Structure 1
Amino acid sequence: MKNLSSKLKNKRIALGLSQRELAKKIGVTGTSISQWEREENIPKGVSLFKLANVLNVSVEWLSNGEFETNPSPEHGVLVSYYPDVKASGGGGSFVDNEIAETLYIPKQAINTSSKKNIKCIHVSGDSMEPSIMGGAIIAIDTEATDIIDGHIYVFHQQGHLRVKELRNGIKQVHIISKNPTYIDEHTSYEDLKIIGKVKWVSNFL
């Protein structure tokens, strides 16, 4: 099994990219690429996802998998990714107002959902930890807008984009954080606009 540094270097060379060129494409320094290839450091979070996309491989393969000649089609599905959108703070609709990039995520992440309905964004804050860590990337199914008790959703509330567990009440929605330091909230159904259900959470932070 090849480690990340070997796979990174082999794929970079195969694509004809210098360390500096690769660094520019993913928004890091050439020193970072050099350190990754020498196993002095490892890419994490957004950098790991951007690296996998530039190299045209899946994050899972780059991090853990066997060395393969063409891993991405078998292991990932390409979906819309909004790198500047963060749930739990900030307003605006990422569907209407933001520019999308693309991102490979595991095929099993979307199950029976159509990939055209899957949108990936970031999570900020610690209110959903340890289920969703701050800085994680989440995949949302924008067709799944009916609230199922105990599932996690992204929604607009009073101009803010939030990610929380939701539960149905008699006339109210219960908004639940996974972090026990945050208290539960309650609001009317009219106060929320459901963007979609969280289908997948990145584990590469």
Structure 2
Amino acid sequence: MINKKQSTKEFSERLKHVIAALGTTGREFSKRAGIGYSTVHNYMHGSSSPTLDNLVLLAKAGNVSIEWLATGQQSSMGSIDSDVTYVPFIDHADEMLKLDVQLIDVKDLHSLRAIKVNTDVMTPTFLTGGVIIIDTNDINLTDNKLVVLKQSGNYLFKRVQVLIDGVRLLSDNDSYPPIAVPFEDMKSINVVGNVVMIINKIN
């Protein structure tokens, strides 16, 4: 049986994971949850455990189930039905996309983010107005993988071609020229995640 100290520590780790997965800070998350920052700070550092009311607020703010946040036993994000997960949009975490988990082959559903496509750079692979799902845990640049990058606050959608001296970032739309990145410049690339699903039509 896990003692209270261990249980509190494990809860704090799950909470930190949720906050990190949302790409936000503890202070911003506390505002979103409607709980004082000092209280959330104590939860994050394992100094105290939440009341039931606060647990509900934390789970709702983090788009996770109360059961998973409290015990770690359920992995479906914000879902009562274990066959369904709710994926937050990357810059609009209050907007969710409902997905069948059987359609996605990833270990951690909490790492998934949805992005609306607002460019024709990858046409015909994915279309303007469609949605892509990315795995933010997978940031490796692998040959022929579709990736989302971030540069100067903007998202870039590219296909990776690995070269001897670096990588070439390709667009599936031939109107856009490839971008060559030498290995020494790789640290300047902010890889947000690899594409795991493309949804070209949203009802």
Q: TM-score range by the shorter chain?
A: 0.5 to 0.7
TM-score, reference length from structure 2: 0.53
Consecutive unaligned residues of structure 2, counting only runs of 5 or more, are 1-79
Q: How does 1:16-95 map to 2 (within 5 A)?
A: 73=81, 76-82=84-90, 94=91
Letter in 2 for 1:194: V
- Match of residue 155 from structure 2: 161
1:181 aligns with 2:182: no
Distance 2:97 2:152 in 1: 29
Q: How does 1:191-202 map to 2 (within 5 A)?
A: 191-202=188-199
Consecutive unaligned residues of structure 1, counting only runs of 5 or more, are 1-71, 83-93
Letter in 2 for 1:149: D
What are the superposed Cα offsets for residues 25-72 of structure 1, whole Å, 9 maximum, x if unpaired? xxxxxxxxxxxxxxxxxxxxxxxxxxxxxxxxxxxxxxxxxxxxxxx9
- Match of residue 3 from structure 1: none
Runs of 4 or more above 4 Å deviation = none
Distance 1:160 1:81 in 2: 15
Q: Among all aligned residue pairs of Structure 1 and Structure 2, give the percentage whose two residues are the same amino acid.
A: 23
Report the Cα offset of residue 193 of structure 1.
Answer: 0.8
Report the Cα offset of residue 109 of structure 1.
Answer: 3.5
Asked if 1 retains the 8 angstrom alpha-carbon contact of 2:130 and 2:200, the reply is yes
CA RMSD of aligned residues (A): 2.1
Letter in 1 for 2:140: D
TM-score, reference length from structure 1: 0.52
1:102 aligns with 2:96: yes
Distance 1:197 1:109 in 2: 16
Count of equivalent residues: 120
What are the superposed Cα offsets for residues 106-152 of structure 1, whole Å, 9 maximum, x if unpaired? 32342133110000111111110000101111111000011110010
Letter in 2 for 1:150: N
Letter in 2 for 1:190: K
- Match of residue 106 from structure 2: 112
Letter in 2 for 1:203: N
- Match of residue 132 from structure 1: 126
Q: Secondary structure at the match of 1:116?
A: helix
